[in-house]
């Protein structure tokens, strides 16, 4: 069986990669992807601890809620990105599409 520490180290690596992505990327969608990596890293931690330390499903329930929250957050974030994109595009290319309704 794989020991707990292996999972934790992999999760730390994933978290650090997410951090690296969000520090270096300029594209909003790409930054959001990096943030998802951080959420996934935390979830691996939670489930690993739930298996090795507590032995019940409490950590899994937490991870379940994290997935729900991550979904909501990315939905709203992408809506904002799209709304902003619409404005910036509107600045560059004068079009009637915004008035079409």
Partner 1 sequence: METLAPKIIFWVFTGLMLGSALVVVLGTNLVRAAFALLATFFSVAAFYAMLGADFLAGVQILVYVGGILTLFLFGVMLTNRIYGLELETATFQLGSGALVSLTVFAVLVTVVLTTPWSQTALVEEGPTTPAIGRLLMTEYVLPFEIASVLLLVALLGAAMLVRRRIDL
Partner 2 sequence: MERLDTVSSLQYFVPEIVLVFSLMAVLFCDLISKNRSQSERRLVIVIPTLIGLVVALFYAFAGAGEVSAGLFNNMVALDGFGNVLRILFIASSIFVLLFTVHSKELKSVHHGELLVLLLTVTVSLIWMANSINLMMIYLALETVSIASYVMVGYLKTDRFSNEASLKYIIFGAVSSGTMLFGMSLLFGLTGSLDLYEIRAALSNQEIVASSGPALMVIIVLILAGIGFKMATVPFHFWCPDVYTGAPTPVTAFLSVGPKVAGFAVLVRFFYGGLSEPAGGHNWAMVGSVDWQTILMVVAVLTMSLGNIAALTQTNVKRLLAYSSIAHAGYIMMGAAVLTGEGIQAMVAYMVVYLFMNLGAFLVVIIVHNEIGSFEVKDYAGIWRRAPMLTLVMGVFLFSLMGIPPFAGFLAKWYVFSAVIKAGLGWFAVVGGVNSAIGAFYYLQILKTMFVDGDETPSPAKPLILQPIYAGLLFVLVVPNIIGLLLWGYLDRVAQYSQRLLDVI
Question: Could you give the string, one character per residue 75-94, with x where binding to partner 2 holds by CB under 8 A and - elsewhere?
Answer: -xx--xx-xx--xx--x---
Q: State yes or no: residue 14 binds partner 1 (CB under 8 A).
A: yes
Q: Which two tokens stand for residue 58?
A: 């409490």
Partner whose footprint covers residue 9, from partner 1, partner 2, none (CB < 5 to 8 Å by kind): partner 1
Q: CB of residue 72 vs partner 2: minimum separation in angstroms? A: 6
Q: CB of residue 28 vs partner 1: minimum separation in angstroms? A: 6
CA atoms within 13 A on the CB side of 74: 15
Q: Which two tokens stand for residue 9?
A: 């180290």
Name which of 69, 62, 67 is nearest 46 in CA terms: 62
Question: Could you give the string, one character per residue 22-61, with x where binding to partner 1 holds by CB under 8 A and - elsewhere?
Answer: -xxxxxxxxxxxx-xx--x--xx--xxxxxxxxxxxx-xx
Q: Show Cβ contacts of residue 63 under 8 Å, excluding neighbours closer than 6 positions.
A: 43, 46, 47, 50
């Amino acid at each position: 069986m794989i020991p707990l520490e292996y999972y934790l180290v992999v999760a730390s690596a994933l978290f650090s990669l997410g951090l690296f992505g969000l520090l270096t990327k300029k594209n909003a969608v790409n930054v959001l992807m990096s943030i998802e990596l951080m959420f996934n890293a935390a979830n691996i931690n939670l489930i690993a601890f739930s298996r090795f330390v507590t032995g019940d499903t409490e950590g899994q329930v937490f991870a379940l809620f994290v997935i729900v929250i991550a979904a909501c957050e990315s939905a709203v974030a992408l809506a904002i990105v799209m709304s902003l994109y619409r404005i910036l595009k509107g600045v560059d290319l004068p079009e009637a599409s915004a008035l079409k309704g």
